[in-house]
A and B are shown apart, each in its own frame.
Chain A
Amino acid sequence: MMPRSSVTAACGTGVSAHRAVSRMRRADRLRLGSAVAGLSVTLLVLAALRVLWGAYQVTPADFVRILSGQTIAGASFIVLEEKLPRAVAAMLAGAALGASGALYRRTLRNPLASPDILGVTTGAAAAVVAWLAATAAQMGGGSDLARSAAALVGALAAGAAVFLAARSIGGERFIVAGIAVGAAGQAIVAGTMLSLSQHDLQAATVWLAGSLNGVTWGRIALLAAATALLLPAAGLLHRALAPVDLGLPTATALGARPRRTGAAALIVGAGLAAAATAAVGPLAFVALLAGPAAQFLTGGRPSLTCSALAGAAMVVLADLLAAETTALLFDGARLPTGVLTGAAGAPLMLWMLLRQGRERGGRA
């Protein structure tokens, strides 16, 4: 079986070559399909764990009853105001960040070029804090829409600053310019925070560490709307940019318009990252990690769906560990979710740095 197919492929007779290619395609599609299915099941299991398990446990039967509108003393409140919103927000924010990371990665053709490394999420956070300080609105009570708009403006401004500073796109210099812009954003955040009132300061501190603690249904609705709008667009752009993987000249020759499509992709990606940041704060490294995790599962093929699913699963898992497991281990203390993704992301970034060097070595 194995020798025959390789021989026929080598002979290159039209029909059998076509058959070999379509077999490879089928295998590829099968692997992609199984990756999507596996990730979906993982996500569902994690989400179910997040809602049902923990310091306060809910039986599946009770959960169904609560969803269908019955009121169970205590359980209803905890499920509807605490566990369910966190799980839903975690899934949506993770999916948005994962998709945004995949889009940046493909457009900029650099695995390290994710919105969190480039300072885009920090820019969004800085704009939100600046807006809070300017309007002196309460963290939870202020208008969620204005807050998201501020996040979007901040994200786009940070992205534009990186472009202007680096002049080139996607290279290592670009990444360092992003790190510098991120540092400036962080400084603006730290400086502006001091002008917030004590009450706002506390809420802002929690939000800034990337926390799902303060999430509300209003914010979730906004995030859901933004994701529903931007995710399909991101999918289309991701597909349209597929020829870019072959290099810019080839892509242009194949009829793609990498500049225009790429610019649109970066704006949509910034929008997704900003929507997630406005809702749950800057979750470190999710956008950076979701892409490689998804590619590992699909066998190297970049997939926006898988990246979004992987991002969602990551945030739900991180939230589960941060909120419930630390509470068990450390006597009720709760870690912000972003702390966990940050600690897990740093070694991976170092590893990616090493691998990037190896790839460059292969090309040279």
Chain B
Amino acid sequence: MPMAAAVLPVVLPLGLLAVAAVAGLALGARTVDPTTALRTLTAMLSGQPLPGGIDAAAVASRVPRTVTAALVGSSLAVAGACLQGATRNPLGDPGLLGLSGGASLAMAIGLALGVPASAPATLGLAALGTAGAAALVYACASAATRIGGTPGAPSPIALVLAGAAVTAGTTAVTTALLVLSPAVRDRLRFWSIGTVARAELSEALLLAPVILAAVLAAIAVGSGLDALALGEDLAHGLGSRPGHVRAVLLAAVVVLTAAAVALAGPVAFVGLVVPHALRRLRPQGARMLLCGSALWGAVLVIVADLLGRTVVAPGEVHLGVTTVLIGVPVLLVLLRRTGVAA
């Protein structure tokens, strides 16, 4: 029975992930047959010299973006699931709540001040920005909710409104820095839409352990998330420590959002869409939801990137655009459910 329960959330996306990854490597402006794609990939991973020919070169050029897309998708989907659980807010998404905007702004400020564009420095800046934006949004939304009536957790709508304000402000200042500072412009011009087109494998591999650690930390406290869903008092009664669980989850959200923004820029709605779609499959418990989010998120973003560069080939629709077009209808459907409007 536990095996059967794990099929839809975990086993199926594992298979899909393999298929999507191979498709991501093989398809594009130049179509390569899957065996060549796999041979090139194994050669790259084992450090052997690449097979010759244009096909192998095309596959090699697609490896960084496919790996980055998988990492970004996992990070954002797990961050969304954690946000939704920790704040008991169905509209949790790092982009929607302004966290990605804060991360982008912090990175732009760092570059403008002359901080080197190395991966650890970028990640640190992005984490600072994410945490700052999170604190600001949460404080404003909970103040608005508290004055308005029931004290306690901020209402989902107030969080989204505060997130929209923070996103608007950070976007404006980031644009100003793009215009005024050549250092920022060189590095962030394309990145600010949200794209994996210029991803570098070294950066992705450097951040991969960080992302993995944050995902595992979130899964480790996953059972506490189940207790949290019953409310603060019941969670206490069940022997869970809600404050502790929430702190771990929010720390994971900050690290995951920062890593995703550092890799691909602000990509919205992945964190909203994946956990909600997954809940329809009725995963058993929050752990299963988090594992499933990590895998389905990777699949979604690889496919979104693949669609973005094949549908209008040789042109390209960036990831930030594709995910919004997928995510907005989901948000509108969620809004129509009565539970959301508080």
Q: Mark A164-196, 1 if CB is under 8 A from B, else 0.
A: 011100011101110111011011101100110
**Minimum Cβ distance to chain A for residue B231 (Å):** 22
Is B336 on the interface with A (CB-CB < 8 A)?
yes
**Minimum Cβ distance to chain B for residue A340 (Å):** 8
Q: Mark A69-82, 1 if CB is under 8 A from B, else 0.
A: 00000000000000
Is B321 on the interface with A (CB-CB < 8 A)?
yes
Rounded to whole angstroms, the CA-CA distance of A208 and B279 in the bound complex is 38
Stretch among A225-233, A272-280, A347-355 lining the B interface: A347-355
Q: Which of B91, B164, B170, B340 has the largest number of chain A CB atoms within 10 A? A: B164
Are A357 and B316 in contact, with the CB atoms below 8 A? no
Given contacts A172-B157, A353-B144, contact A335 B324 (CB under 8 A): no
Given contacts A183-B324, A345-B169, contact A330 B164 (CB under 8 A): no
Stretch among B4-12, B218-226, B290-298, B327-335 lining the A interface: B327-335
Given contacts A172-B341, A357-B147, contact A179 B164 (CB under 8 A): yes
Are B172 and A284 in contact, with the CB atoms below 8 A? yes
Given contacts A346-B165, A349-B168, contact A176 B335 (CB under 8 A): yes
Q: How many B residues, CB 8 Å from partner?
A: 49
Are B169 and A346 in contact, with the CB atoms below 8 A? yes
Is A343 on the interface with B (CB-CB < 8 A)?
yes
Given contacts A335-B180, A339-B179, A357-B148, contact A346 B328 (CB under 8 A): no
Q: Mark B162-197, 1 if CB is under 8 A from A, else 0.
A: 101110111111011001100000000000010000
Q: Which residues of A contact B147 (CB under 8 A)?
A: 354, 357-358, 360-361
Are A194 and B140 in contact, with the CB atoms below 8 A? no
Are A342 and B332 in contact, with the CB atoms below 8 A? no
**Minimum Cβ distance to chain A for residue B225 (Å):** 25
Rounded to whole angstroms, the CA-CA distance of A326 and B175 in the bound complex is 14
> Which secondary structure characterizes the binding site on chain B?
helix
Is A333 on the interface with B (CB-CB < 8 A)?
yes
Q: How many A residues, CB 8 Å from partner?
A: 51
Q: Which of A187, A195, A343, A354 has the largest number of chain B CB atoms within 10 A? A: A187
Q: Which residues of B contact A166 (CB under 8 A)?
A: 335
Are B168 and A186 in contact, with the CB atoms below 8 A? no
Rounded to whole angstroms, the CA-CA distance of A183 and B266 in the bound complex is 13
**Minimum Cβ distance to chain B for residue A352 (Å):** 9
Is B282 on the interface with A (CB-CB < 8 A)?
no
Are A173 and B341 in contact, with the CB atoms below 8 A? yes
Is A356 on the interface with B (CB-CB < 8 A)?
yes
Question: Can you report 27 residue pairs joining A to B where beta carbons are below 8 Å apart?
Answer: A117-B164, A165-B332, A165-B335, A172-B341, A176-B160, A177-B335, A179-B160, A179-B164, A184-B325, A187-B324, A190-B318, A191-B318, A191-B321, A195-B312, A195-B315, A285-B168, A330-B180, A333-B179, A336-B179, A345-B172, A346-B168, A347-B165, A349-B165, A350-B140, A350-B162, A361-B147, A364-B148
